[in-house]
Amino acid sequence: MAENKIGSMSENMAENKTENSTGNMTDKMSEIKPYEHKVQYYETDQMGIVHHSNYIRWFEEARTYVLEEIGFGYREMEECGVMSPVLEANAEYKTMTHYSDRVLIDTKVVAYNGIRLQLAYTVRDKETGEVRCTGYTRHCFLTPEGRPLSLKRSYPEIHRIFEGLMEISDKL
């Protein structure tokens, strides 16, 4: 059953690829726009400034958005028996974000080896482009039983997608 799900998921991911003039496959990641978030009142403190814990949530929103855009969102992962817990999260706060500001969150794959994945995030003010926060998250891939899972061995098509994301991120 997981094989059928991988097959249909692979078809979805194939739709998200385009061939460039040199004949190399270019993942649609290069076409994915930054994730946009409007700051909500409940995300702020008494001074109207975003509470620091919300940036980590925004990283998750941006990560989920990117994974869905490439056709391998959390729902698809879990249906295939792939879990991807967060091992580490880091945020460095640069400037304040206020209630009702709109921010854009760029997400890049900066490390991937088939078992572990690291994503980097840059949160910018939509109007000014000023960097509000930078950070990263580190993840691994596990079976539903909690055992380490090599995408390279178990799901080579998905592995190639993540490798492609890292290559494109290197060029951005």
Structure confidence by residue, pLDDT tens digits, 144-160: 999 999 999 999 988 99
State the average pLDDT over residues 128-141: 98
45 is catalytic: yes
Q: Which of 27, 45, 125, 170 is catalytic?
A: 45
More confident residue, 15 or 48: 48
pLDDT for 23 equals 30
Structure-token pair, residue 168:
């494109």
Give strand pairing partners of 38.
102
pLDDT for 32 equals 83
CATH class of 2-12+30-171: alpha beta
CA distances from 3 to 50, 133, 158, 163 (A): 43, 40, 13, 21
What is the helix (H) or strand (E) element at residue 164, kind and residue range? helix 156-171
- Give the global pTM: 0.84
Question: What is d(CA 6, CA 87) in angstroms, rounded to the nearest whole number?
Answer: 25
| pLDDT tens per residue, range 86-101 | 999 999 999 999 999 9
pLDDT for 170 equals 77
Q: Please tell me whether residue 60 adopts helix, strand or coil conformation.
A: helix
Question: What is d(CA 103, CA 61) in angstroms, rounded to the nearest whole number?
Answer: 12
Give strand pairing partners of 112.
117
Q: Parse the chain into domains and list their residue ranges.
A: 2-12+30-171
